Amino acid sequence: MTPHPAPDGPLIPDNSPHLRVLSQYVKELSFRNSLAAASAQAYEVQPTIDMGVQVKSRTVGDNDEATEVDLCISVDARRGEEPMFSVSLVYSGLFQLMNLRPEEIEPMIWVECPRLLFPFSRQILAEITREGGYPPLMINPIDFAPLYWAELKDREERAGADGPATPLAGF
């Protein structure tokens, strides 16, 4: 076991459990500005915002050496019945999970990885809405743990009715 330096200096033993971020990137980005010419009027009325969040993952590499995690956020803004804008972002990260026990892998993928991706996604959404002529969309922080545990409970309930549980593919 040869320790290696952590980014901030102290040594981390090779066999310690940890997560390594290999890369982060915008995978997909779509912005539809339905009220482009009238976006200045957007300041007059508070819009109705409908937001959806989904997490997906897949293994990457010949020996499943990395996991790609997608944080998918979609937002539709309306003023009354009139659509203002819609934005869809898939912000992804490539992660290497090191020395984790089997029971630690899913929570790491479905809670910690999206938690690391979220601030970057939030910044992109704020910038794209500002560039579209609207006030920056500032999404409140998301706690991914309750989403994961709710999905896990739903999966176990479905498994009780249908047979054995299947691994999480996305929520």
Please tell me the predicted confidence (pLDDT) of residue 69. 97
Answer yes or no: is 83 within a domain: yes
pTM: 0.79
Residue 71 has pLDDT above 90, yes or no: yes
Please tell me the predicted confidence (pLDDT) of residue 10. 63
Q: Which domain holds residue 92?
A: 18-132
Find the angle CA(90)-CA(134)-CA(38) to the nearest 5 degrees: 120
Work out how many domains the chain is built from and give that number.
1
Average pLDDT, rounded, for the chain: 85
- Give the separation between CA 28 and CA 70, rounded to whole angstroms: 10
DSSP H helices, the chain, are 102-107, 113-131, 144-162
- In angstroms, what CA-CA distances link 80 with 42, 48, 130? 11, 7, 21
- Give the separation between CA 157 and CA 164, rounded to whole angstroms: 10
Q: Kindly report, residue by residue over 131-162, the tens digit of the pLDDT.
A: 998 889 999 999 999 989 888 888 888 887 66
CATH of the domain at 88: 3.10.420.10
